Structures are given as structure tokens and as C-alpha cells.
Amino acid sequence: MRKWITVFLLIVLLLTQMACGGLTGQKVPTGVEDGVLTIAMECAYAPYNWTQNDDSNKAVPIKNVPGSFANGYEVMMAKKICQANDWELEVIQSDWDSLVPAVMTGTIDAVIAGQCMTAERSEQV
């Protein structure tokens, strides 16, 4: 049984590698053409994201709320994504119900707000 599992996993790995080979020389679209990843979140759901009045602990300015800064786990993850891709990060504070529509209209690039993928959301974005 163990031998069959190993063979199966090797086949899956081989097929995955072959599938990736076709992208050589092609630019993969990211949705971030201007070098700025614009994300939206509520900025009120600690420890994932929250609002603070200063940039302590490497908080990020909230673009649409002057003098406010976002911090938390999701902000740190967004910063890591931006660092890995050589992008700048822009945070927009938004109500929960406005997050998905903002992605749909192209106002923002992504939502990082603890939202789970559902069948309904998959159809929308």
C-alpha cells in the first residue's frame, strides 16, 4: 500500500511540474499593474486587523482615513506579499458589506479580511 501511495504522489508531482513548464517566457497576470497592491479591510477585527493612531510596530497608513494606521496579522501578511513581489502596499478601510463589491468594480486589488471562499463569492470575483 505504501508503495502505491509513493508512486501516486510521484506521478502527481511529475504532472504538476509538466503543467508549470508551459508558462516559460509568459507574464502571469496579477492584477497589480501599477506596482501598488491596494487591499481593503474593516480595520476593526483584532488580532487580524485594527486601526491605530500612529505607525508604531510597522503599521501602514490607511489611505482613506488620514492620520490612521492599520496593523495586525492580515496587514503583516499583505506587507510580506508586497515585499516578495517588490510592490507597495495601500490599505483602504471599508465596511464589511463593501469589500467584495470593491473587488468586483476594480476599486481595489484584493480583500484581506478573514473572508472565507464560498461558492457565491467565487461566482462574484
Task: Please state, in angstroms and rounded to a whole number, the distance separating the CA atoms of residues 114 and 125.
Answer: 16
Question: Considering the domain 26-124, what is its CATH architecture?
Answer: 3-Layer(aba) Sandwich (3.40)
- What pLDDT does residue 73 have? 94
Confidence band of 54 (pLDDT split at 50, 70, 90): very high
Confidence band of 20 (pLDDT split at 50, 70, 90): low
| Model-wide pTM > 0.75 | no
- What pLDDT does residue 77 have? 94
Cell numbers describing residue 117: 471562499
Type of residue numbered 50: W
Q: How many CB atoms lie within 10 A of CB 1?
A: 5
Task: Please state, in angstroms and rounded to a whole number, the distance separating the CA atoms of residues 72 and 7.
Answer: 42
pLDDT at residue 3 above 80?
A: no
User: What does the pLDDT average to over 77-106?
Assistant: 93
Per-domain boundaries in the chain: 26-124
